[in-house]
Chains A and B, each alone.
Chain A
Amino acid sequence: MKVIVNVFLKAGVLDSQGKAVHHALESLHFDNVSDVRIGKQIVLNLDESNESKAMADVTKMCEELLANTVIEDYNIELVK
């Protein structure tokens, strides 16, 4: 099973990279962009067919390693 994890800085934690890219887009005259957030995507291939087991395992991975929950939020997407 393929699992996609997206990790982003929490709302309220300044995303300097997002801000810099936002400014760059503005200087390219893309005036309709109101916010840019930059995160990372981690793609896992799990030897697991049980979806709830996969979700539980990946949640644990996020809490222990993949995200730093002091500053980051994560979401998990199971891809069949």
Chain B
Amino acid sequence: MKVTILQFPGTNCEYDAKYAFEKLGAKTEILWHKSQSVPSDTDLLVVAGGFSYGDYLRSGAIAKFSPVMKAVAVYAKSGGKVLGICNGFQVLTESGLLPGALKRNESLHFISKHHHLKVINNDNIFLEKLDNNDVVNIPIAHHDGNYYIDENGLKELYANNQVLLKYCDANGDDKNPNGSIDSIAGICNKEKNVFGLMPHPERAMESLLGSDDGVKMLQGFLKA
């Protein structure tokens, strides 16, 4: 199992992702955004979190023109598995690899804390080790995490089981930290090989640091 982790100027979660996937037994490689190709032995490509290009203009708006993103699009179109976390999710929506967009949090605050998430659809490789309605405790850290999609797009997400995770409280009841439509925290594409979420499972790998619920989330990718 080989995990390739993208690094843009301003990315700051690439080493957390490396730590997380190595802990699960995968080999990892950090790939600078100037690369024109995705390494051919890649089983999972992670677009890590942070602030690519300082979030100038809009989060993820400049990163989508990095040389590597053309290769990422080809990789994704041919069925390669892609996971975008936080800024990575923003890059994937800006690139059109995932539907919708991420707006400024409704409160206008940068939010950094642990938050509970509920599994909505586990019929995909990412969450198949979890059950629907399972609740996990995962850190969030974002300013632009307010997921938006128009009404038809939202219907389509539900119809195709593309809504992966929703924000909730410890009991699994709705609790929305950022104004996301229907409290959506993570989605995938129709083909279920491109995944994006605002919360950081790669920062929840050690119970000593508050939660190790990220282990059971990221493990899904490991069987490949």
Contact = CB atoms under 8 A, between A and B. Distances in A.
Contacts of A14: 103, 106, 179
Contacts of A28: none
B107 A70 contact: no
B183 interface: no
Contacts, number: 35
Nearest to B59: A68
Given A68-B58, A70-B148, A13 B103 contact: yes
A17 B146 CA distance: 13
Contacts of A17: 104, 108
A66 interface: yes
Interface string A1-28: 0000000010001101100100000000
Contact of B148 (A13, A65, A66): A13
A46 interface: no
Given A68-B101, A71-B148, A16 B106 contact: yes
Interface residues of A, number: 11
A10 B106 CA distance: 16
Contacts of B100: 70
Interface in B69-94: 93-94
Nearest to B178: A16
A24 B58 CA distance: 25
Contacts of A20: 108
Nearest to B146: A16
B224 interface: no
A66 B58 CA distance: 9
Contacts of A66: 57
A71 B107 contact: no
Interface in B136-188: 146, 148-150, 179
Interface of B: 57-58, 61-62, 65, 93-94, 100-101, 103-108, 146, 148-150, 179
9 contacts: A9-B103, A14-B106, A14-B179, A16-B105, A16-B106, A68-B94, A70-B100, A70-B101, A71-B101
Given A16-B104, A16-B106, A70-B150, 12 more contacts: A9-B103, A14-B103, A16-B103, A16-B146, A16-B179, A65-B57, A65-B62, A68-B61, A70-B100, A70-B148, A70-B149, A71-B101
